[in-house]
């Protein structure tokens, strides 16, 4: 009994982790939908500082939607960020004609074997769609200091999505960036300008309708995924129970086998019943009371 219970627990943990995966395309912030997938790529920011007798180059590589691909084999492994880094910081020292030396490299977000995910935070006032939000993620611990990244996204429709983020500061292991892009605007916001001629008053209700649609879709897909996950749990737990406790094999592993064998007939029966009611027909021997 004990090992089977542990299996249940492991299974549940892994399933819930899988269903909570960070998805740039379907972000919900204060109940509004956002899509950052236009920014899903490795972005590289480089800057040089004069530090006599050398030049210190700092490079940040980041992807807000997934772990970065990084430099790959073009850079020696010791000079690369660990696997599963989402934001990588590397510092290179240049000294005249001498060979360059990478003096620092580490994950400011993500890192090896981390199941960390970005967290989205926003301040909201009432029902307003947030125009700004923070993308926060932990990185690696260095000398007991937890490195982390905080990207402040600002909705800006005058910019393009290939706009680069700006490094605000890196202090005590915390990297702060600011990123002004249209992708940081709530969905259902972009159509407003084109509706033009009806003027300000008519814009508002249309805007609200758009919101309802978005949250409605969110609600149904949430209910559906709950049902789906519930069914998977039921099925897998039933299988495990039959295997470990009942010691069943083969087809008998299927939970409630008798019921599922009957199920197609039950569905047919039921739909026949509904059809009879809807069409007003009553069949022979019995009637619905
Ligand atoms: C930084 O300085 C190095 C050495 O002078 C140079 O090779 C590199 O291109 C510079 N990078 C930038 C972004 O200016």
Predicted confidence (pLDDT) per residue in 125-182, tens digit: 777 889 999 999 999 998 999 999 999 999 999 999 999 999 999 999 999 999 999 9
Q: Is residue 249 over pLDDT 50?
A: yes
Structural domain tally of the chain? 2
Q: Ligand 1 centroid vs 148 CA: distance in angstroms?
A: 26
Q: Is residue 209 over pLDDT 90?
A: no
Q: How confident is the model at residue 281 (pLDDT cuts 50, 70, 90)?
A: low
The model's pTM? 0.61
- Cβ–ligand 1 distance for 46 under 6 Å, the answer yes
In whole angstroms, give the CA distance from residue 47 to residue 109: 20
pLDDT of 287: 53
Question: Picking from 73-77, 118-122, 203-207, 250-254, which range would have the lowest pLDDT averaged per residue?
Answer: 203-207
Three-state DSSP state, 167: strand
Same domain as 149, residue 47: yes
Question: Between 2-19 and 199-244, two packed helices, what is the crossing angle to 10 degrees?
Answer: 160
Same domain as 191, residue 223: no
Same domain as 173, residue 114: yes
- For the segment 85-92, the average pLDDT, to the nearest whole number, is 96
- Cβ–ligand 1 distance for 246 under 6 Å, the answer no
Q: Is residue 110 part of a domain?
A: yes
pLDDT of 179: 98
- Cβ–ligand 1 distance for 57 under 6 Å, the answer yes
Please report, rounded to a whole number, the percentage of residues in the chain having pLDDT higher than 70.
79
Instruction: Establish how many alpha carbons lie within 13 A of residue 204's alpha carbon, considering only the half-sphere containing its beta carbon.
Output: 4
Q: Ligand 1 centroid vs 153 CA: distance in angstroms?
A: 28
Q: Ligand 1 centroid vs 181 CA: distance in angstroms?
A: 27
Same domain as 142, residue 216: no
- Residue ending a domain, among 171, 202, 233, is 202
Q: Ligand 1 centroid vs 60 CA: distance in angstroms?
A: 14
Q: Averaging pLDDT over each range in 5-9, 166-170, 258-262, which range is the top one?
A: 166-170
Pocket test for ligand 1, best of 54, 94, 96, 164 (most atoms within 8 A of CB): 94
- Cβ–ligand 1 distance for 241 under 6 Å, the answer no
Q: Is residue 79 over pLDDT 90?
A: yes
More confident residue, 269 or 2: 269
pLDDT of 126: 74
Q: How confident is the model at residue 101 (pLDDT cuts 50, 70, 90)?
A: very high
- For the segment 24-38, the average pLDDT, to the nearest whole number, is 94
Three-state DSSP state, 161: coil
In whole angstroms, give the CA distance from residue 61 to residue 71: 9
pLDDT of 251: 83
Q: Is residue 210 over pLDDT 70?
A: no
Q: Whose CA is nearest to atom 9 of ligand 1?
A: 48
Q: Ligand 1 centroid vs 133 CA: distance in angstroms?
A: 33
- Residue ending a domain, among 184, 202, 220, is 202
For residue 269 the two structure tokens come to: 């029966």
- For the segment 217-234, the average pLDDT, to the nearest whole number, is 85
- Residue ending a domain, among 153, 181, 202, is 202
Alpha-carbon torsion, ordered 277, 281, 284, 289, to 10 deg = 40
Q: Ligand 1 centroid vs 55 CA: distance in angstroms?
A: 8
- For the segment 15-38, the average pLDDT, to the nearest whole number, is 81
- Cβ–ligand 1 distance for 58 under 6 Å, the answer no
Nearest to 149 by CA among 137, 165, 167, 133: 137
Question: Picking from 55-69, 98-112, 120-134, 192-206, which range would have the lowest pLDDT averaged per residue?
Answer: 192-206
Same domain as 232, residue 93: no
Same domain as 226, residue 240: yes
- Cβ–ligand 1 distance for 55 under 6 Å, the answer yes
- For the segment 93-112, the average pLDDT, to the nearest whole number, is 94
Same domain as 174, residue 59: yes
Residue 245: give the domain boundaries: 206-279
Q: Which atom of ligand 1 is nearest to the CA of 47?
A: 13
Nearest to 137 by CA among 98, 85, 97: 85
- Residue 178 burial by CB count (10 A; 0-12/13-18/19+): exposed, middle or buried? middle
CA 138 to chain centre: 15
- Cβ–ligand 1 distance for 93 under 6 Å, the answer no
């Amino acid at each position: 009994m004990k090992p089977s219970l542990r299996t249940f627990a492991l299974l549940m943990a892994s399933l819930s982790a899988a269903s909570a995966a960070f998805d740039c395309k379907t972000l919900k912030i204060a109940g509004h939908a956002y899509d950052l997938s236009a920014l899903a790529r490795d972005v590289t920011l480089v800057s040089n500082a004069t530090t006599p007798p050398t030049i210190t180059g700092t490079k940040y590589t980041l992807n807000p939607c997934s772990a970065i691909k990084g430099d790959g084999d073009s850079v020696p492994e010791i000079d690369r960020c660990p696997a599963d880094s989402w934001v990588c910081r590397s510092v290179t020292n240049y000294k005249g004609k001498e060979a360059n030396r990478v003096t620092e490299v580490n994950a400011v977000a993500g890192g090896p074997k981390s199941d960390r995910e970005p967290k989205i935070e926003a301040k909201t006032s009432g029902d307003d769609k947030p125009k700004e939000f923070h993308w926060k993620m932990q990185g690696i611990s260095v000398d007991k200091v937890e490195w982390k990244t905080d990207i402040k996204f600002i909705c800006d429709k005058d910019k393009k999505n290939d706009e680069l983020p700006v490094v605000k500061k890196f202090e005590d292991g915390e990297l702060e960036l600011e990123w002004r892009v249209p992708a940081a605007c709530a969905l259902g916001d972009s159509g407003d300008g084109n509706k033009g001629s009806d003027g300000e008053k008519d814009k508002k209700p249309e805007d609200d309708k758009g919101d309802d649609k978005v949250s409605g879709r969110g609600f149904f897909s949430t209910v559906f995924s709950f049902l789906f996950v519930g069914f998977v749990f039921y099925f897998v737990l039933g299988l495990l129970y039959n295997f470990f406790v009942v010691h069943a094999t083969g087809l008998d592993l299927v939970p409630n086998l008798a019921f599922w064998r009957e199920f197609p007939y039950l569905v047919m029966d039921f739909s026949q019943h509904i059809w009879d009611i809807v069409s007003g027909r009553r069949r022979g021997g019995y009637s619905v009371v």
